[in-house]
Amino acid sequence: MSYETITKVTQDIVLEGTKPAKEVAQSIGKPYSTLLREINPFDNNAKLGAATLMDILKTTQETKPLEFIAESIGYTLKPRVN
């Protein structure tokens, strides 16, 4: 059983992704420290909002959070074929 959360998956792509976390923060218009709080799965006083998650997805071009959400509700994410 996986104990990952959407916040943890998002934290991983921001902190370990190809785009530096400070650049992600700047791209989405958030102070770096605020972004780090919002993606911290252990900070119960700060939450990752849906709009911020969308901004992170657009900025990083990463699909792991979407895949996590889809899988957790019984779906599979697949790319659109053009």
Task: Give the predicted TM-score (pTM) of the model.
Answer: 0.89
Give 13-17 contacts, CB < 8 A, sequence gap 24+. 13/56, 13/60, 13/62, 13/64, 13/65, 14/39, 14/56, 14/60, 15/39, 17/60, 17/62
Give the pLDDT confidence of 30-79 residue by residue, as tens digits. 999 999 999 999 999 999 999 999 999 999 999 999 999 999 999 999 98
pLDDT of residue 59: 97
| Dist. CA 79–CA 82, nearest whole Å | 9
